[in-house]
Structures are given as C-alpha cells and as structure tokens.
Structure 1
Amino acid sequence: MDEQGMRYHSRMWVRPENLNANGTLFGGHLLSWIDEQVALYSIVQLGNERVVTKYMSEINFVSSAWQGDIIELGIFPVKFGRTSLTLRCNVRNMVTRESIITVDKIVMVSLDDQGRPLEHGYSEITYARDRIPHRMKPIPRPEPHIPEAVSSHEPLADLDG
C-alpha cells in the first residue's frame, strides 16, 4: 500500500481540553484518537463491530501539535491474520507538515458474541461498504451483585459502628 497517498485518514482538531501542562497535545489524547480510528477502520474491514486492540508497538513522539493545529491520522493495512488485522498508523501535523508519531504495528482482533477470537475469512482490503456489520446484540455480561440489605427504601447502616 502506498503510504504517500493515505487510503484512510481522519483529521482531528487540537482543542484546549487536549493539551498537557506544556500547552502541547497530550500524548494520551493522541493515542486514544489512534485507537478509536483504528477500531473504526477494523470494524469495516473485518465486517464485525466487535473488535479489540490486542497489541500496539513501541511509540515515539518525534514532534507535537499545539492548540488550533489540525492533525491527520493515516491508517495502512499490513496483514490479515485468521482472526486479526495488523495495521500501521502515521500521524502528522497538517499545519507544520511534520510527522508526530508512527505506530508500526497495531493488531486488532475480531471477537464473537462471547468475546472469543472469531475467524473473519478476509484476506484483502475493501473500499466498498459490503462489510459494514449489521447491528449485533451486546456481548452478554453478568448482572452486578447488589447486596439485599442495600435498597433505596432502607436507611444505610451506620458505618462508624
């Protein structure tokens, strides 16, 4: 895949709530944006809305962004596995044209309705909408345990004894 012409990209606007104490883009926000965009890309490519991030390789911030900058995230497919999709992500500052970070390897895994790895059966990228998943029911989760003594009608016990 030609990285000069990003096939999938997303843009984010750096706002005050995205800044760290130095006044630059907080790395945690950027990693969250990367994770979200990679998940969206993987959902379409794997035809399953249940995907999780299994692995993200070493990260190295080489420059930053400031309030008002627009950053661009480019996602490139590297390899289809049996239950996974391996991707690469480049992030650049559209204002300064500098690279901010490259994540060489991000592994996303497709899950079944029980949260187990699911074979997806794909081996190449699609640019069509044929794999967009239909809405699935939520993954079942155990009901939270609420002690019977606690209810909205009974006063709370005195914790000081």
Structure 2
Amino acid sequence: MRFHTRKWVKPGDMNPNRTLFGGRLLEWIDEECALYSIIQLENPKTVTKFMSEIDFRSSAKEGDIVEIGIEVVKFGRASLTLQCEVRNKMTRETIITIDKIVMVSLDENGKPKPHGKTKIEFVKDRLEK
C-alpha cells in the first residue's frame, strides 16, 4: 500500500473525547480517494459511489500525524475500486481500514463514463508519451 498524504491532527479535528473525530477522518479519506481517482482516470468528474464496512482500530490525538494509504483493488468499466488504511505516522499503529471504496468516472450528464484504464499509471510515464 502506498501512503500518499499526511495530516496533522489539530484542535478543530477533535471529538468530545478529545480524540480525532471519525467524520473528519472519513472526510480526509474521501478527499484523498477522489484526488487519486481523478488523476488515475484523468477525469475531474469522478465521485465516491460506495464505501464498505469501516473498521476503526485505534484513535489519534491532537498533535499526532496520520498518513493515508491507498491501494488499487480493481479497474472496472467506469469505476476504480480502492482499499484504504490510515495509520499513525509515529507509532505505525493502524487507525482505520476500509476494504472497498468504489469511485466512478462520470460524463457531463452525471452518468457513468467508461475510462478505458486497466492498470495504474504514473504521471511521469504519461509525460514520456
């Protein structure tokens, strides 16, 4: 799994228990998956369709640095299925895992748009073409 982004847990990210609010973490994950998918599918109109069961394994506290990891599970006709893990950068302890996140490429009318992709592409490889 590749860990692309780090987030610093700040006071505004806390829940009443003074640990990282799960909704904030899900917001970060959703944004990271969207950005990753938009780049992979080369379509800015890419949206989240589905998230499977979310497993909160531990928490984070103010001042912690968390990192978000994403792995491609499958390329569909108009979709990209990802897996995600978030861990504490310092302790390497897993905070959350999500086995399946489905992102869908849309056309100008908001309908699924086939993307024609079958494998992960890196920007450096696209620039060489």
What is the TM-score normalised by the length of structure 2? Answer: 0.94
CA distance in 2, matches of 1:13, 1:47: 28
What's the counterpart of residue 118 of structure 1? 113
User: Equivalent of 1:38, from 26, 33, 38?
Assistant: 33
Distance apart, 1:28 and its partner CA = 0.1
Unaligned regions of 5+ residues in structure 1, if any? 132-161
Q: How far does residue 77 in structure 1 lie from its aligned partner after superposition?
A: 0.4
Q: Percent identity?
A: 60
Give the match for residue 156 of structure 1.
none
Report Cα offsets for 1:71-102 as digits up to 9, x if no partner.
00001001000000000001001122210011
Corresponding residue for residue 27 of structure 1: 22
User: Which is richer in strand?
Assistant: 2
Moved over 2 A (4+): none
Point out the structure with the larger helix share: 2
Query: May I ask how many residue pairs the two structures share in their alignment?
Result: 126
In the alignment, what sits opposite 1:154? none
RMSD: 1.2
User: 1: distance between equivalents of 2:66 and 2:45?
Assistant: 27
Q: Normalising to structure 1: TM-score of the pair?
A: 0.76
Match for residue 48 of structure 1?
Answer: 43
Q: Which residue of 1 aligns with 2:58?
A: 63
CA distance, structure 2, for counterparts of residue 124 and residue 98 of structure 1: 30
Residues in 2 aligned to 1:30 and 1:128: alpha-carbon distance in whole angstroms: 27
Q: Which has the higher contact order (CA 8 A, sep 6+)?
A: 2
Residue 60 of structure 1 aligns to a residue whose secondary structure is strand
